[in-house]
Structure 1
């Protein structure tokens, strides 16, 4: 069984949904499609028409249209066009500043410039205007991420902790749920002076209560091992099963292992086989769909491959097939050599 969920340095940017702008773009698209003679327009033609309408608005001096068109380009992956528009509006429009900041930090349509991205997020965080209020939790999370991932003098776990805590806002559901989940992993790191499993469990619980799928799986793992909380297999089953049903692959891998250890071999085989069919190209898509870290998705697949191979070796609810088992052992190692070694060691100790 895994030891918990450490916080890798490769944590994602937190973005913000802009529902009002999205609705407006949808309304413009609908009007274009429903206009006389345009019923048969393709999606590409509709997008071109929306672009033309927004460009005309910009020419007429509509400053809001600059952000709207930038967001349209961003969702179309036309990053260079998007960042150029956000750059035009960032000094007076906080939403444009936010989008410009994450694009600079992640190198979307531009060269990576962590410092410039950080400056945008600090400007938003320090603002007292209501126009920036909905952006502040995500901006503070992104500042924490910058310090956590930074290099040289910029890297600081203590600064990262400070900003993650500000973003998490004592578990406020309207705050950054991503920050709450990341704090759970931040305090789980064994090699860190910030290691505190009780804090890790607290923050994963807050994030889970606010809808975090990643943290729901993490809590299941913590219950199953008894780290940060008293070991409770029933609670582990509930958390891991619910997280698995919602698409958390790491939870699935842990649930497969728990089934196997409990001698529920048919369930272990069924779920293990399902997860073991996932491939490397599936990981990025799953990460986006579930908002879970690719690092832990890969670990979940590795665990499922290993346990399914065990079922094949010993004929647990399956016809023994050593050759196929070897293929799944190899796939486990390919996805995560460390997890493969840990599980092999666990087998040698008789724990599986």
Structure 2
């Protein structure tokens, strides 16, 4: 409560101290809170909130919270370890795949979408378009916006333009990213990225008349929105178009 300012004024330092107390407690009454406290301590170190920022300490506490992938442990910690091991400074894609697999098996919607992308790109696992589609489709159906955006990409690259444009139309209609994050438990950054993917591929469909009527003006509008949502991804898209890849 102190950490997030729920029901009281936020006090990150006091919140961190209380979480540390719970995590180190041997009381039977604190057992059911231990993994959650360990996750939040890792989160505090990762964000530098109430304590000096330290990714190694974040990793250490998340490993404790993840408890070897136990379904009774912190599934959020399992997902965050998957993300941590995908970062350049901690890069270990096999570990990333392992932790996302554990989290997905324990119900993580976020990790299910990321697993689909890892299968699609062959990151940490042998590339498998069939497994990628299975993960992305199920995650998309459950409301994972990032998975929806990447599924648009998969449809487009398979030249299933009508499917790509139909799904993209639904995804670009999303406007309240924070509400989607609350409803799905997925990170706002990944939701934004998913909408950017949908905007870009809808732009290509409109520009080329793939799967729907050509409309250059609408195409430009969605390309600009993709750039606003995620400049880095949009830059890569722009290069792909310039070099004739898309």
What is the correspondence of 1:95-134 to structure 2 with a 5 Å cutoff? 103-108=1-6, 110-134=8-32
The 10-residue stretch of structure 1 (222-231 or 212-221) with the greater mean CA deviation from structure 2? 222-231
- Within a 5 Å distance, the mapping from 1:33-48 to structure 2 comes to none
Q: TM-score, normalised by structure 2?
A: 0.96
SS for the counterpart of 1:203 is helix
Work out the CA distance in 2 between the residues paired with 1:258 and 1:349.
19
What 5-or-longer segments of structure 2 have no aligned partner? Answer: none
Deviation at 1:112, TM superposition (A): 3.7
Report what 2:54 is aligned to: 156
Q: Residues 28-82 of structure 1, C-alpha deviation per residue, up to 9 Å, x if partnerless?
A: xxxxxxxxxxxxxxxxxxxxxxxxxxxxxxxxxxxxxxxxxxxxxxxxxxxxxxx
User: Scaled by the length of structure 1, what TM-score is found?
Assistant: 0.68
Measure, in 1, the Cα distance between the counterparts of 2:95 and 2:197: 27
* Deviation of the 1:314 alpha carbon: 0.5
- Which SS does the other structure have where 1:292 is aligned? coil
In structure 1, what is the equivalent of residue 165 of structure 2? 269
The count of residues paired between Structure 1 and Structure 2 equals 246
Q: Kindly report the root-mean-square deviation, in angstroms, between the aligned alpha carbons of the 2 structures.
A: 1.4
- Cα shift at 1:155: 1.5
Contact 2:13 2:49 in 1 (8 A): no
Aligned to 2:109: 213
Compute the displacement of 1:346 (Å). Answer: 2.3
**What is aligned with 2:243?**
349
- 1:1-352 equivalences under 5 Å are 103-108=1-6, 110-150=8-48, 154-190=52-88, 192=89, 194-279=90-175, 282-352=176-246
Q: 1:107 Cα shift?
A: 3.3
Change (3 A) 1:189 1:307: same
Cα distance, 1:289–1:152 mapped onto 2, change above 3 Å? closer
Runs of 4+ in 1 over 6 A off after TM superposition: none
* CA distances 1:307-351 after superposition (whole Å, capped 9, x unpaired): 001001111111100011111111112211222112112223333
2: distance between equivalents of 1:108 and 1:291?
A: 17
The offset of 1:114, in angstroms, is 2.1
Larger mean CA deviation between 298-307 and 145-154 belongs to 145-154
Sort the Cα spacing of 1:123 and 1:151 in 2 relative to 1 into closer, same or farther, 3 A.
closer
Structure 1: segments with no counterpart, 5+ residues: 1-102
> How far has the Cα of 1:158 moved from its partner?
1.1
Q: Secondary structure at the match of 1:155?
A: coil
In 2: Cα distance, 1:109 partner to 1:137 partner = 22
